[in-house]
Each structure stands twice: as C-alpha cells, then as structure tokens.
Amino acid sequence: MIFLTRKAEFSSAHYYWNDSWSPEENLRVFGRCANRNGHGHNYSLEVTVSGNVDPTSGFVVDLKELKDILEREVVSVYDHRHLNLEVPEFKATVPTTENIAIAIWQRLDNKIPHAKLHRVRVYEMPDLFADYYGER
C-alpha cells in the first residue's frame, strides 16, 4: 500500500463566534479571533489517500483527477470567500482549523476513486495545523 499526498491552497476570511454566548464570553474565549469584521489566512491543505498501485498505470490515484476533485469540492468553495458568511457548513459551526479539517473530510469522503481517504491536514499558518482521520 502507498500513501499519496496532494496539496492545495486557499485564502479565506473568518471569525470565531458562538451565537449562544454573550459578546463578552465570545471575546473572553476567542480573543482577537472574535472580531466580527473578520480576518483571514492563507490556508494550506494536504490530503493523504492510501491505496494499491495499479499495475498498468503505476498510479494509486490519477493526480490530475485528485487535483480536480480538490478544486471542485474545496478550493472553489472556500477560496477568496468568507467562511462564516458564504460556506454552508460554517453557518452554525465555528470555522476553527479543526472544524475546517473535519468539513473537508466530509466533502471528500467517498469522492476519490480507487483510493481511501487517510488524512486531511489543514494549515492555518505554518506553525498551526489540524489533522482529521475520520474518527468519531
């Protein structure tokens, strides 16, 4: 079995806010991330899939096809968007790095032919990233 990782990037705005809390509580927990005018990041996405090498093509997965899937399912939806305001899964869910990794897993799960999704890694910045392995 081989693990194969494809990277993609997107730049998005977001803020952290829980509607069921008071503004003071949001500021206490989320600090500067609670600024309702939003802020943004250059996110880097690493999607790792596992599978066996096809003896004819030598591929685990067609990289062009994987690139197109990432573009269609994730980048075209997230890039140059405000995650809270424009991406449906974050209408009621805080767009933390952890939740972005989970949401991308859910967008990609069962969409990649001939390979099994192993890990979704999302870098919010080079010194902070979240991994999701599909665990409940």
Partner 1 sequence: MKAHLSRRYHFSASHRLHTEAYDPARNVAVFGKCNNPHGHGHNYTVQVTLSGQVDPATGMVCNLAELDAFARTNLLDRFDHANLNTLDCFANKVSTTENLSIEIYRIFQNFPAAHLERVHVEETSNNSFDYAGETTTAPGLI
- Cβ distance to partner 1 smaller for residue 30 or 59: 30
Percent helix, strand, coil in the chain (nearest 5)? Answer: 35, 30, 35
Q: Which candidate, 52, 46, 64, 45, places its Cα nearest to that of 115?
A: 52
Which of 33, 65, 82, 114 is an active site residue?
Answer: 33
Instruction: Kindly state whether residue 50 participates in binding partner 1, applying the rule CB under 8 A.
Output: no
Part in contact with partner 1 (CB under 8 A); list of ranges 34-42, 58-66, 71-79, 125-133? 125-133
**CA–CA distance, 36 with 16 (Å, rounded to integer):** 8
Question: Is residue 115 close enough to count as binding partner 1 by CB under 8 A?
Answer: no
> Is 31 near partner 1 (CB under 8 A)?
yes
Kindly tell me which residue out of 6, 65, 79, 93 binds partner 1, with binding defined by CB under 8 A.
93
The H or E element that residue 112 is part of is none
Rounded to a whole number of angstroms, the minimum distance from the CB of residue 6 to partner 1 is 15
Residue 126 found at the interface with partner 1 (CB under 8 A): yes
Told to judge if 82 belongs to the known catalytic residues of this protein, a careful annotator would answer: no
Question: Could you give phi then psi for residue 118, rounded to 5 degrees?
Answer: -105, -50
Determine the Cα angle at 71 with ends 68 and 76, to 5°.
145
Residue 4 interacts with partner 1 (CB under 8 A): yes or no: no
Asked if 98 interacts with partner 1 (CB under 8 A), we say yes
Identify whether 33 is a catalytic site residue.
Answer: yes
Nearest CA to 6 among 72, 66, 78?
A: 66
Q: Which residues bind partner 1 (CB under 8 A)?
A: 3, 16, 18, 20-21, 29-31, 93-99, 101-102, 126-133, 135-136
